[in-house]
Chain A
Amino acid sequence: DGGITQSPKYLFRKEGQNVTLSCEQNLNHDAMYWYRQDPGQGLRLIYYSQIVNDFQKGDIAEGYSVSREKKESFPLTVTSAQKNPTAFYLCASRPTGGSGELFFGEGSRLTVL
């Protein structure tokens, strides 16, 4: 089935550790996104990539890094510089053209202990 796979679903980390969240899509979409969601809040854009080997900062990029070496993959690293990393992270992709609808993965919940 076509879709977006995020892993792990739940992740715990100690303060000061970097952690990488995986996002893989087999929809052949060019654009991919990472959003952060805090409890009871909307989604805020961290990074997005419109094409392989290129990505742009979103509204809250500080403390995060990404790479886009393959069309299918857009991993997000939460670094120790991120002051409040505990959150729900959603990956999405978008096909070229169309309305701009985003297709989402099931999310990864990161808890910093």
Chain B
Amino acid sequence: AQKITQTQPGMFVQEKEAVTLDCTYDTSDPSYGLFWYKQPSSGEMIFLIYQGSYDQQNATEGRYSLNFQKARKSANLVISASQLGDSAMYFCAMREGVGAQKLVFGQGTRLTINP
């Protein structure tokens, strides 16, 4: 079974609009972490934001926020006031367990920001 599911292969958004990228996950471990990475066309993976399963508040980093709904097992990334430079692939990833050694990635969502 897929551990991380990103159901939007591609999204198109007008510049300055907010955008939500969906991510659902599957785990029975009470301790886990959720990550979002951005991959521009150059290929490098850029860390955006992290949410721990025990964190009481949704994580925020500048224009990025994570809408964490634990009961629904979803961890959607919200980008406010989108910019042309936000066009990229976006990956959701999960670490299962305390001290877990690896991340499992979703298939990604290609976001295109239109001027």
Which residue numbers of A lie inside 8 Å of B, CB to CB?
Answer: 31, 33, 35, 40-45, 48, 50, 56, 58, 88, 90, 92, 94, 99-107, 109
Chain A residues, Cβ within 8 Å of B47:
101-103
Q: In the bound complex, do residue A42 and residue B102 qualify as a contact, i.e. CB atoms below 8 Å apart?
A: no
Provide the bound-state CA to CA distance between A45 and B93, in Å.
12
Provide the bound-state CA to CA distance between A58 and B101, in Å.
11
Chain A residues, Cβ within 8 Å of B52:
99
Which residue numbers of B lie inside 8 Å of A, CB to CB?
Answer: 4, 6, 9, 33, 35, 37, 42-45, 47, 50, 52, 91, 93, 95, 100-108, 110
Provide the bound-state CA to CA distance between A66 and B58, in Å.
38
Provide the bound-state CA to CA distance between A88 and B45, in Å.
12
Q: In the bound complex, do residue A100 and residue B103 qualify as a contact, i.e. CB atoms below 8 Å apart?
A: yes
Provide the bound-state CA to CA distance between A94 and B101, in Å.
9
Chain A residues, Cβ within 8 Å of B107:
40-42
Distance (Å) between the CB of B50 and the closest chain A CB?
5
